[in-house]
Amino acid sequence: MLFRRRARMLRWLVCGRVGTVWIWKALLLFVAIAFAVQLLGVIFNKSSVHPAGHSIFLSSDAQGPSLGFCQPHTHIMFLKTHKTASSTVLNMLYRFGDERNLRFALPLGYQFGYPLPFNAHRVKGYRGPRAMEFHILGHHMRFNKPEVEKVMPADTFYFSIIRDPAGMAESSFAYYKEVAPAFRKAKSLGDFADNPYRYYDSRVRNNYARNLLMFDFGMDNNANFSLAVAQKAETMIRQTFNLILVSEYFDQSMILLRHALCWPLETVVSFSLNARQQKPSDVGGLSGSFVSKAAAAAGIGFRGVRPQAKILTNVTEAQREKLRQWNAFDLYLYKTFNRTFWEDIKSFGYAQMEQEVSLLRMLRKEMAQVCLRDGGKPVEARRIRDKNIRPFQLGLLEILGYELQPGLDNATRTACLRMIRPELQYKDVLDAKQFPRVAQSGQQNPALLAAGASLVRQDSPRTGERPAEGNAGGRTAELRDWDGSRLMRRNQTLIQKVRLT
């Protein structure tokens, strides 16, 4: 009885006082609010990830296929592994953050104390956990999760990139021949592959010669291989990192990354940076290295390498397999996360992946025509007219760079310059932007001082001894700059104590 009385009262309140017209008005208002929320979500999604400045993309497809109702990630930690095309990935992060005025967690020098484990106090401006919001952390480090978590927010997206250990060994040897003690002693990479224990000493730091991925991820690279240890490393990576990219499939990696981050396609368009003159490679049954693949996709060719470098880095397929076994932990990680990578592509959809990769390559070609001289052909550093964008040189193979197209308007030139600016110079630009007072006092030239470490003579008995000012400290060979002026090359008598890129 009481229930019926309350039901009648409710009907009277709704129909008598409010009326059916008001019910319909309330319903329509509710629908309108819901539609407005969805519309605002679409607008926010597009506007918040669109470049803050001038867009240089001519194609209407620069945004790429729709990402749906997702919010772009702006808290990002990229573990920049060695010899994996990571400099190109870092440039993409630089550009994204620079255009949106995000705050970078920058090192005091050019690295976070590598090869020592990462420490939060090596971040410039760090004042303690949660004292300051950092958006992007991405320079070379030896991963140390507890310390990284002191710097980055809880919702940070973690990702990294890996490569076939045989290809990594070839690149590492070419780059670190005069830096890594194990490589310095070996006559050639083939010589090292045939008997690595003759040259490798696990007690020596800066070896770069064994399980470099394992080391960068913060684990013991010198342990005897066991499945249990390898699986423990795999578990740590899976629990910490949201995505692991594969260098040999760089374009596919960029598509997966842009969907994971909810970024428009144009943000992951890039040119190959820190690339070196090198011979084609069939490492791991692939049709070429990342550099040659990226160059082919952009319609770019490479010049030949120095004959000596070819001889020193040439290896047989049997020796490549020896290098994989020597780097057994890295091989396990590569195989494991390569499988995961292709499982992700299968879930993504092969047809959609092919469509977006084609669009990405089209945009890269478009940008090469807009931004770069000669359609984007890389050139030797000494032939780049703008000395501020010449890449730093180290190793057996020359590091190539790009020249900007002349006659660009200011906005286009700024956008193009961001795409080709070398890593060290870009770091200095961001540093000056975030710490203008410090920048006014002057910074050290990264070509003279890299990673916060001094350049030392190969024959110097004291580590850290600086060469006399104005003296290269060894044999020099005359080279000509683009304008005919003389350049002095240091014939590898000056070497770098700590890894650069």
Give Cα separations from 140 to 25, 104, 114, 218, 440 (angstroms).
Answer: 59, 14, 7, 12, 26
State mean pLDDT over 200-215.
Answer: 89
pLDDT at 33: 62
pLDDT in tens, 21-69: 555 556 666 656 655 544 444 444 443 444 455 565 555 566 667 777 8
Using alpha carbons, select from 101, 97, 73 the residue that is nearest to residue 159: 73
pLDDT at 1: 53
> How far apart are the C-alpha atoms of 225 and 108, rounded to whole Å?
35
State mean pLDDT over 464-482.
Answer: 38
The answer to whether the bond into 153 is cis (omega within 30° of 0) is no
Give Cα separations from 457 to 174, 470, 471 (angstroms).
Answer: 19, 14, 11
Neighbours of 34 (CB within 10 A): 10
Asked if pLDDT for residue 335 goes beyond 90, the answer is yes
- Rounded to the nearest 10°, the torsion over CA 210, 212, 214, 217 is 160
Give exposure, 452-481, as e/b (b: 16+ Cβ within 10 Å).
bbbbbbeeeeeeeeebeeeeebeeeeeeee
SS3 222: coil
Does an H or E element contain 464, and which? none
For residue 162, what is the DSSP state? Answer: E
> Which pLDDT band holds residue 490 (cuts at 50, 70, 90)?
very low
State mean pLDDT over 5-16.
Answer: 53
As a whole number, the mean pLDDT across the chain is 76
State mean pLDDT over 246-273.
Answer: 94
For residue 79, what is the DSSP state? Answer: E
The fraction of the chain above a pLDDT of 70, given in percent, is: 65
CA count, 13 A, side-chain hemisphere, 104: 28
Say which range, 84-88, 348-352, 472-476, has the weakest mean pLDDT.
472-476
Tokens 């000012």 label which residue? 469
Give Cα separations from 6 to 10, 17, 22, 84, 314 (angstroms).
Answer: 6, 15, 21, 72, 90
> Which pLDDT band holds residue 275 (cuts at 50, 70, 90)?
low
State mean pLDDT over 386-407.
Answer: 72
Better pLDDT: 281 or 26: 26
pLDDT at 64: 64
DSSP string, 282-349: -GGG-SS-HHHHHHHHTT---PPPPHHHHHHH---HHHHHHHHHHTHHHHHHHHHHHHHHHHHHHHH-
Phi/psi of residue 286, nearest 5 degrees: -90, 160
Q: Are 106 and 427 in contact (CB under 8 A)?
A: yes
Neighbours of 233 (CB within 10 A): 23
pLDDT at 371: 86
SS3 119: coil
Asked if pLDDT for residue 398 goes beyond 80, the answer is no
pLDDT at 11: 56
Asked if pLDDT for residue 113 goes beyond 80, the answer is yes
The region that residue 415 occupies, defined by phi over 0 for left and psi between -120 and 50 for alpha, beta otherwise, is: alpha
Beta bridge partners of 457: 494
Using alpha carbons, select from 426, 432, 418, 430 the residue that is nearest to residue 371: 418
State mean pLDDT over 408-417.
Answer: 89
pLDDT in tens, 191-206: 999 999 999 999 887 7
> How far apart are the C-alpha atoms of 91 and 418, rounded to whole Å?
8
Give Cα separations from 388 to 110, 186, 271, 410, 445 (angstroms).
Answer: 17, 35, 18, 17, 10
Asked if pLDDT for residue 122 goes beyond 90, the answer is yes
Asked if pLDDT for residue 383 goes beyond 60, the answer is yes
Q: Are 100 and 50 in contact (CB under 8 A)?
A: no
> Which pLDDT band holds residue 9 (cuts at 50, 70, 90)?
low
Tokens 């890389």 label which residue? 378
CA count, 13 A, side-chain hemisphere, 282: 6
Asked if pLDDT for residue 299 goes beyond 50, the answer is no
pLDDT at 373: 84
Quote the longest CA-to-CA distance of the chain: 107
pLDDT at 455: 29
State mean pLDDT over 84-96.
Answer: 93
> Which pLDDT band holds residue 288 (cuts at 50, 70, 90)?
very low
Q: Sort strands 157-162 and 76-79 into parallel, antiparallel or unpaired.
A: parallel
CATH of 76-280+287-434, one of 3.30.43, 3.40.1350, 1.10.760, 3.40.50: 3.40.50
Asked if pLDDT for residue 301 goes beyond 60, the answer is no
Give Cα separations from 44 to 36, 317, 455 (angstroms).
Answer: 12, 52, 48
Q: Would you say the C-alpha torsion 221, 223, 226, 228 has a positive or negative sign? A: negative
Q: SS3 helix, strand, coil % of the chain, rounded to 5?
A: 50, 10, 40
pLDDT at 500: 36
> Which pLDDT band holds residue 308 (cuts at 50, 70, 90)?
low
Q: Are 56 and 420 in contact (CB under 8 A)?
A: no
pLDDT at 242: 98
Domain residue extents for the chain: 76-280+287-434
pLDDT at 401: 72
Most confidently modeled range among 32-46, 126-140, 339-353: 339-353
